[in-house]
Amino acid sequence: MAADPPGAERPSRALLLSAFVIATCGLIYELVAGAMASYLLGDSVTQFSLVIGTYLSAMGLGSYMSRYLDRGLLARFVEVELAVALIGGLEAPVLFGLFVWSPAFRWLLYLQIGLIGALVGLELPLLIRILERETSLKELVARVLFLDYIGALAASLVFPLVMLPRLGLFRTSIAFGLINAGVALWTTYLFQAAPSVLRRLRWMSAGVIIILLSVFVAAGPIEARLDANLFADPVVYRAASPYQKIVLTHRDGDTRLFINGALQFSTLDEHRYHESLVHPAMTAVEAPARVLVLGGGDGMAVREVLRYDSVQHVTLVDLDPMITSIFTDRPELSALNRASLSDPRVRVINADAFTYLEGRAAPAPGAQSPSDDVYDVVLVDFPDPNNHGLGKLYTTTFFSMLDRAVAEGGVVAVQATSPMWSPSAFWCIHRTMRHAGWQTRPYHAYVPAFGEWGFVLAGRSSPVRFGPLPEGLRFLDATTRDLLFHFPPDLAERPGPINRLDNQALVQLYEEDWRAMLKR
Amino acid sequence: MRLSRRRLLKGALCGAFVGAAGCSPGPRPRVGALLGAGRASLAHRLWAPFQAQAGVRVERARVVIVGGGVAGLSAAWRLRRAGFEGEVLLLELDARLGGTSQSGEGGSGPVALGAHYATIPNKENIHVQAIFADLGLIVGADSAGRPAYDPAAICLAPQERLFIGGEWILGLWPATGATAEDEAQREAWEAELSVWRSTIGADGRPAFALPIALSSEDPALRALAEPTFAAWLDARGYTSPRLRWMIEYGCRDDFGATLRSTSAWAGLHYHCARRPFVADPLDMGTQVLTWPGGNGALVDGLAKRCGATLRVGALVRRVEADTGRVWVEAGGELIEVQAERVILAVPSAVSARLLDRPAPLALTTAPWRVAVLQLDGWTPGPGVPAAWDSVPWDPELSAEETDLGAIDNGWQARRYGGPTTLSHYQPLCADDPSAARQALLHAGWEEQAEAVLHRMRKGWPDLPEHLARIDIWAWGHGTVRPSPGLHTDPRRLAALGAIEGRVHHAHTELSGMSLFEEASWHGVRAAEEALQALGAPVGPSLLGADLGAAWRRG
Ligand SMILES: Cc1cc2nc3c(=O)[nH]c(=O)nc-3n(C[C@H](O)[C@H](O)[C@H](O)COP(=O)(O)OP(=O)(O)OC[C@H]3O[C@@H](n4cnc5c(N)ncnc54)[C@H](O)[C@@H]3O)c2cc1C
């Protein structure tokens, strides 16, 4: 074994103290990784245990690798320390960036955790070997490991109770990176070595500290800008299907579903939305038996539909198998729709509603006669038309095709965006349905999570007479239902174009509406 | 920004940990070929010496149509429509019908190799309305009797987007960074166009009509065909570079020409001749009809409904105008076909060769390079995520160098992104196109593919990662240029179409513009002439009540 530089024999308490700091920082990085993983990927138990497993095994690997480091142990120790400071300190912002920009986030997450773990794993063996020369092994192991475990305790208390609430995830991880880098710099003053070596190590430390400090300053505004919606409440489930990003949050009895960052419902008031979407249409026909739901893969609308004993079958067409399957299979979610999607009367089809209606236009040879396949009530519950793929579901072509799916005397109800926030879009949908030959009755309801929300009820003749509402509704009664159809002057109809596949006027109107709204 | 960040991060990580799971494979090896090579070598045989031989196999047909492009197929379609009962034989040298309107195969469906749209016809444009009705494209009418078109064929929105200032914006006007002066000139230009659109000549016909034959022949209006479009715009004070870019885009798109090599009359024609006659015009977002794979759909429709015997891989070598004898090489054999009438639906340089006489008029034609790119998906760049036609704005490049961008062959399937096939268009607009033509026809695939990808690198930054295949198609004589002087006197072009013995002429070149409307009009006209010559019933003419005097003389 080669000799260490002169002066390495001044290990002192100072180096022991750094064992404490190292241990604290090491655990903090692990906690940050676990928190990020469960934040971003959902399913915290799995994520935490995978992160801890990866981290610990990487530490083991790092400890083993320490046997290959022979020369200039103190300098190596400083270098490892600086690497930990940099990679660990920037862990949270980098992971977030990777999540946003890389589809391979999951693997990169483990790669980064592994890297940090391995570096942290190198630290203690190096330290023990440096100190070994002046203290007996017995003493040394006892002290170092004691400080290591105490440091871990400190971290586990400081992280959730002090750092996270004060600094947020980004700045917490950077702050500990700074502490790490500080220890490294300090260490260079504890031993003597060739001045060139010391100079190099100090410059490196200064560089790392400057980098971390500048990211620390920038991190505040960045973190503040992150989608406030998404991170307002703890994320309990997150998934990305080929079609959309799905996020569920939960806090104090309020579960919220977000698709591509847009709120779909909040359990505090979704009953207002779904009762308003479903019951005017369901009570506008006598004894509705066949119901088609387009969109609405969360099963909430179907839940309302199944309140009617007359219903014999319900077909639900939703693009995304991920949505319909989590709302069928995950107990906490199917509790919200009262297991409506598992009801024997309900058939779930995962298809693009446009393609589905087009396919119906030309029934396959040998298929049941088309009249078997029409519906008394069709409920259309698509996301708002903020892109052309969704805009096509509100076009003259779409609403004309819809006609073939509706039985004699049947009705349609369409979610039509907000007559308050996006009035041009709302009235464009209404106008487009009229142009496609429907007799329409626009209506609206107040849903606190969304504001004033709009729908269009339509039939081949205007649906004006309503039957009795089912039992157990929380929002609608006969009087409220009548009031929905009244539009006060500030929600009055406005003129504009018709939405067609060849102009997609609605997408533009919707965008303009929201831009105008945000300016207010 | 979004993309480059992502790639940067990826690149850094992949560099550090080669082979780590999740790293992108990066640009793929390039796969593809030069298409249409067989066609080119066949066509070149035309220029080999030919001696008509006796003693070869003889076939007979009442009408032989040479050329299976839009003109030839429209002629056959018109004969069928008149109830013509005799044998009609159509001979096409290519393995596929359609000529410059053909589609190719592109992985996920047909792809455009040439023409890719038609406009909704004007009211007076009865031959196109008749064809469209027959092909099932007219599905009804509104209360005013205006035809309603098949929604599946009406180009979906958004039709066009422009890559400018690092992002895609809607439409073709380079709005980003335009000055008040630019905008003012643009407004003046739009106002001027609307005047021209409704201008009527002394002969009572519209100044600009489609087909061209219905345009006014008023010499005062035709004088516009003398100056170059560039000089005319200068004289009118249209100096804004952005406005001129947008106007020139039209010349490049339709003619493969610049403002310098287009006449003012033709340049205005592009903007003023279309007055679509359509149900509920106010609701219409567009006047463009398009199909997956472009106008190949029209070619297929015509081929199915034309009733002629269609023979592909048949190279016609010689036509005798007086006797109606046609020599054709097909299946390795030389055959003589004896016809009562012959319709030559080929470019005028080819007719001259077939008839073994000099061409009455030399035309300038533009070479085009079309690239077909099969993508397994693409990440929308910044701005408008997708459109049917995606056009780059690159003011640093000269009009000769710049491309027209790409159309999305899967657009009408309403996918709005995802795996698809693009057709990328580059007309070679040099004043004298012959050098560019030679270079195009002799360049290798690698070099051409590289050039296309280089042109597309800005608007489609992750293209190389998604590119499954890129094929190149070169048109040596893609479109005819309406050069200054060509349209001044309608008789100039009519000379190309004069009946010679048993021969009638039909080709888009006879209009001095390359368009579906023109090619089909000449096919229909030649067929009506042939029917008359044969003494067969013609039925109501489809040429338009106001048929141009030059063609009426024929
Ligand atoms: C790249 C490109 C893009 C275009 N885009 C559009 C567009 O979007 N919209 C539009 O309206 N127009 C477009 N055009 C114009 C297009 O040329 C016309 O629409 C139309 O296809 C012209 O048809 P044609 O029958 O007159 O001529 P051609 O297409 O030239 O047809 C002539 C046919 O004759 C055959 N032929 C030639 N010689 C012989 C021989 N000796 N024996 C047998 N057969 C022979 C050829 O193979 C060919 O099939 C485009 C053209 C190009 C090149």
Cis peptide before B158 (omega within 30 of 0): yes
Contact at CB, A502 and B416, closer than 8 angstroms: no
Q: Cβ distance B156 to B388 under 8 Å?
A: yes
Query: Where do the CATH 1.20.1250.20 domains begin and end in chain A?
Result: 6-224
Instruction: State the pLDDT at residue B480.
Output: 98
Residues of B contacting chain A (CB within 8 angstroms): 2, 5-6, 9-10, 13, 17, 20-24, 151, 154-159, 283-286, 385-386, 414, 416-417
In this prediction, residue A371 has a pLDDT band, given cuts at 50, 70 and 90, of very low
pLDDT digits (tens, 9 = 90+) for A288-325: 999 999 999 999 999 999 999 999 999 999 998 989 99
pLDDT digits (tens, 9 = 90+) for B220-279: 999 999 999 999 999 999 999 999 999 999 999 999 999 999 999 999 999 999 999 998
Q: Which residues contact B92 (CB under 8 A, 6 or more apart)?
A: B67, B68, B72, B99, B310, B311, B312, B313, B314
Query: Where do the CATH 3.40.50.150 domains begin and end in chain A?
Result: 268-519
Instruction: State the pLDDT at residue A220.
Output: 66
Burial class of B3 by CB neighbour count within 10 A (0 to 12, 13 to 18, 19+): middle
A458 and B CB contact within 8 Å: no
Which residue in B22, B154, B157 is closest to A108 by CB distance?
Answer: B22
Relative to beta strand B503-505, strand B405-408 is: unpaired
Ligand 1 center to B148 CA (angstroms): 28
CATH number of A6-224: 1.20.1250.20
CB-based pocket (< 6 A), ligand 1: B 46, 66-72, 91-94, 99-101, 114-118, 315-316, 345-347, 350, 368, 370, 425, 475, 478-479, 507-508, 514-516, 519
Q: Which ligand 1 atom lies nearest to the CA of residue B102?
A: 21
pLDDT digits (tens, 9 = 90+) for B2-52: 222 233 333 333 333 333 333 344 556 778 888 877 777 777 888 889 988
Residue B191 phi/psi, 5° resolution?
-65, -40
Q: Which ligand 1 atom lies nearest to the CA of residue B74?
A: 25
Instruction: State the pLDDT at residue B13.
Output: 33
Instruction: State the pLDDT at residue A233.
Output: 65
Chain B CA closest to residue A354: B414
Same fold, B5-30+364-480 and B42-102+293-363+485-553: no
What is the amino acid identity at position A317?
A: V
pLDDT at A230 exceeding the cut of 50: no
pLDDT digits (tens, 9 = 90+) for A379-403: 999 999 988 889 999 999 999 999 9
CA distance B287 to B305: 25
Percentage of chain A exceeding pLDDT 70: 88
Q: Does domain B42-102+293-363+485-553 have CATH number 3.90.1530.10?
A: no
In this prediction, residue B177 has a pLDDT band, given cuts at 50, 70 and 90, of very high
Alpha helices, DSSP H only, in B256-343?
264-272, 296-305
Contact at CB, A503 and B285, closer than 8 angstroms: yes
pLDDT at A370 exceeding the cut of 70: no
- Least confident piece of the model among B339-353, B451-465, B508-522: B451-465
CA distance B523 to B504: 10
Instruction: State the pLDDT at residue B7.
Output: 34
What is the amino acid identity at position B6?
A: R
Instruction: State the pLDDT at residue A242.
Output: 66
In this prediction, residue A369 has a pLDDT band, given cuts at 50, 70 and 90, of very low
Instruction: State the pLDDT at residue B26.
Output: 52
Ligand 1 center to B399 CA (angstroms): 24
pLDDT digits (tens, 9 = 90+) for A20-72: 888 888 888 888 888 777 666 655 567 778 888 999 999 999 999 988 888 88
A101 and B CB contact within 8 Å: yes
Contact at CB, B157 and A97, closer than 8 angstroms: no
Q: In this predicted model, which residue has the larger pLDDT, A341 or A125? A: A341
The top-scoring range by mean pLDDT among A105-109, A224-228, B483-487 is: B483-487
**What secondary structure, in 3-state letters, does A365-379 show?**
CCCCCHHHHCEEEEE
Average of pLDDT values for A468-495?
95
The number of C-beta contacts closer than 8 angstroms across A and B is 76
CA distance B394 to B373: 21
Q: What is the mean pLDDT of chain B?
A: 89
Q: At what angle do helices A105-132 and A44-65 cross, to 10 degrees?
A: 40
Ligand 1 center to B69 CA (angstroms): 5
Instruction: State the pLDDT at residue B66.
Output: 98
- Least confident piece of the model among A1-15, B156-170, B305-319, B329-343: A1-15
CA distance A177 to A172: 9
A376 flagged as catalytic: no
Q: Which of A381, A384, A490, A502 is catalytic?
A: A381
Chain B nearest CA to A79, separation (Å): 18
Instruction: State the pLDDT at residue A229.
Output: 37
CA distance B18 to B368: 42
CATH homologous superfamily, domain B156-286: Guanine Nucleotide Dissociation Inhibitor, domain 1 (1.10.405.10)
Percentage of chain B exceeding pLDDT 70: 92
pLDDT at A227 exceeding the cut of 60: no
pLDDT digits (tens, 9 = 90+) for B152-167: 899 998 999 999 999 9
3-state helix, strand, coil in chain A (%, to 5): 60, 15, 25
Contact list in B for residue A111 (CB cut-off 8 A) is: 13, 17, 20
Q: Which residues contact A460 (CB under 8 A, 6 or more apart)?
A: A403, A406, A408, A409, A437, A438, A439
Instruction: State the pLDDT at residue B14.
Output: 34
The token duo for B138 is: 């007219």
Relative to beta strand B420-427, strand B405-408 is: antiparallel
Q: Which class would CATH give B5-30+364-480?
A: alpha beta
Instruction: State the pLDDT at residue A274.
Output: 97
Helix (DSSP H) and strand (DSSP E) numbers for chain B: 17, 20
Instruction: State the pLDDT at residue A103.
Output: 66
Average of pLDDT values for A492-517?
91
pLDDT at A232 exceeding the cut of 80: no
E strands, A174-319, where? Answer: 235-240, 245-251, 254-259, 262-266, 290-295, 313-318
Cα–Cα distances in angstroms (integers) from residue A375 to residues A77, A311, A312, in the given order: 74, 11, 11
Instruction: State the pLDDT at residue B248.
Output: 96
pLDDT digits (tens, 9 = 90+) for A457-469: 999 999 989 999 9
pTM of the model: 0.74
pLDDT digits (tens, 9 = 90+) for B274-310: 999 998 876 666 789 999 989 999 999 999 999 999 9
Q: Which ligand 1 atom lies nearest to the CA of residue B116?
A: 8
Four-residue CA torsion sign, A106, A112, A117, A122 = positive
Instruction: State the pLDDT at residue B21.
Output: 33
Residue A252 φ/ψ region, left for φ over 0, alpha for ψ in the -120 to 50 degree band, beta for the rest: left
Which residue in A103, A111, A502 is closest to B284 by CB distance?
Answer: A502
pLDDT digits (tens, 9 = 90+) for B53-93: 878 999 999 999 999 999 999 999 999 999 999 999 999 99
Contact list in A for residue B2 (CB cut-off 8 A) is: 101
Ligand 1 center to B504 CA (angstroms): 18
pLDDT digits (tens, 9 = 90+) for B532-546: 999 999 999 999 865
In this prediction, residue A156 has a pLDDT band, given cuts at 50, 70 and 90, of confident
Q: What is the CATH T-level fold of the domain A268-519, as seen in this structure? A: Rossmann fold (3.40.50)
Ligand 1 center to B50 CA (angstroms): 25
Predicted complex ipTM: 0.70
Structural domain spans, chain B: 5-30+364-480, 42-102+293-363+485-553, 156-286
